Structure 1
Amino acid sequence: MPRPRKFVESDVVSSAGEVFAVHGLAAATLDDLVRATGLGKQSLYNAFGGKRELFFRALSEDREEAARAVTEALGHDDASPIERIRGHMLTMAIEFSGTDRRVSLTTRALVESAGTEDPLSSAAKTGIDQLAGAYAECLEHARENGDIPADANVQSLAVYFVAVTRGMELLGRAGVGRGVLTAVALDALRVLGVQPANRAVRQES
C-alpha cells in the first residue's frame, strides 16, 4: 500500500506560489521549490506532476484569491460605487509601491506568455476575466445609480481598470514610487468623469 502523504497540498501550493511570484515560471528552479516547500524533487513530481503543473495549480488559487479580494473591496454597501472604486485604486497604489509586494501570478503568466496559443496566455486571460467581472459588477451599480452615463460600456471599462491596475503592479515592481502610482490611480478615474479630490501628491520615482 502507498504511504499516506505527510504534507498539506494547499500549504505546498501556497509556498510554491511565493517562489513563482518572485522568480516567475521560467526562472524558478526545482531547488527553489524544494527549499520553499520542504518536499523532495520526487515528491513534488509525484504529487503535482512537475514545475509547470505546480505553477498552474498555484496560479489557479492565486487568481481566485485576487478576484475575491477585488470583489470584497468593491462590495462595501456603505459607500457609493464610485467611492468604492476610488478607494480601491488608492489602496492599490499603496500596496503596489510596497518594497515587499510580490507580483500576482496572473501578471507573471501574462508577462511570460509566448502568444495566444500558449497555455500561459489562456490562464492569464482567465485571471483577467475574473478581475474584470468584479469591476463590472461595481460599475454596473454605478450606472444604475446614475454615477456614470447610461450608455457607458461597463465591460470595456472593467477591462480598462484591470489594465490600469496590472500596469501599476508592474510599475511598482520596477520601483516606481507611491506618489506616481497614486497620481496614476486618480487620473484613471477621469474616464468615469471623477475628478481627483486631491492632486497634491508628490511625484516621487
Structure 2
Amino acid sequence: MSRPREFDVDRALHQSMEVFWTKGFKSTSFEDLTQTTRVKKQSLYGVFDDKRSLFLKALVLYRKQSVAVLEELVSQDDMSPIKKLDAIRGIALGQCHETIRRGCLMVNSALEFGTDDKEVKREVEMMFAEVEQLLEKIIRSGQEQQLITTRYTSKELAAYLNNALQGAKMMEKSGASWERIDMVLYTSFAMIVP
C-alpha cells in the first residue's frame, strides 16, 4: 500500500514556478525548491521525477495562468477593443512594477535555453502563439469597428504588439526604468490607432 502524499502538489508547483521565475532554471538548486516548498527532496522527486520535469510543469502552469488572464479580458463584451489593449498594456506595466524584476518566465526561459531544449522551446512558442492569437482577435474586432488601423493585417499588428510586450519584459529584467518601459509600450500600442 502506498503512503498518502504529505504535501499539496499544486501549491508546491506554484511555489516552484515562483522560484524558477525569479532565479532561472540553471541557478535554481533543489535546495532552493525544498526550502521554498518545505517539501523534502525525496517527496518532490517522487511526484515530479527531477528538477527538469518540475521546471517543465512550472512552464505549463505559467503559460496557462497567463493565457487565462488574457482570455478573460478578451471575453469582456462590455469593453471596446482599445480598452482591452489598454488593459493588456496595464497588466504588462503592473507586472513590471513588482519589487523583484523577474521579467517573464517564458522570455527568461527562451533566453536561458535558446533553441537547445525542444520541450522548453515548444512551451515558449505555444505561449507566444496563444498570446498573439488573442491579440489578433482584439485587433480584428477593432479594425471591424474602425478603431484600429487597417494599414496592416490583424496578424501583422498582433505580431508587432506581442514583440513589444516581450521586449518590455526583457527591458524589465535588464533593469530599464519604469518610465522607459511605459514609453515603449505606450508608443507601440498608440501606433496601431488610426
Q: Same fold (TM over 0.5)?
A: yes
1:19/1:33 contact within 8 Å kept? yes
* Root-mean-square deviation (Å): 2.0
2:115/2:121 contact within 8 Å kept? yes
SS in 1 for 2:122: helix
1:71/1:135 contact within 8 Å kept? no
Give the structure 2 partner of residue 44 of structure 1: 44
2:74/2:84 contact within 8 Å kept? yes
Deviation of residue 6 (structure 1)? 1.6
4+ residue segments displaced more than 4 Å: none
Deviation of residue 101 (structure 1)? 4.8
Give the structure 2 partner of residue 200 of structure 1: none
| Cα distance between partner residues in 2 of 1:62 and 1:151 | 34
1:114/1:121 contact within 8 Å kept? yes
| Cα distance between partner residues in 2 of 1:126 and 1:81 | 23
| Cα distance between partner residues in 2 of 1:98 and 1:54 | 25
TM-score w.r.t. the length of structure 2 is: 0.89
Amino acid of the residue matched to residue 15 of structure 2?
S
CA shift in 2, pair 1:185/1:24, >3 Å: same
| Cα distance between partner residues in 2 of 1:52 and 1:134 | 29
Give the structure 2 partner of residue 54 of structure 1: 54
Amino acid of the residue matched to residue 139 of structure 2?
L
2:24/2:108 contact within 8 Å kept? yes
Amino acid of the residue matched to residue 185 of structure 1?
L
1:94/1:178 contact within 8 Å kept? no
1:98/1:172 contact within 8 Å kept? no
| Cα distance between partner residues in 2 of 1:118 and 1:95 | 28
**How do 1:1-205 and structure 2 match up within 5 A?**
1-115=1-115, 118-150=118-150, 152-193=152-193
Gaps of 5+ in 1: 195-205
| Cα distance between partner residues in 2 of 1:91 and 1:16 | 23
| Cα distance between partner residues in 2 of 1:23 and 1:106 | 13
Amino acid of the residue matched to residue 63 of structure 1?
R
Gaps of 5+ in 2: none
Identity between Structure 1 and Structure 2 (%): 23
TM-score w.r.t. the length of structure 1 is: 0.85
Report the count of equivalent residues: 194
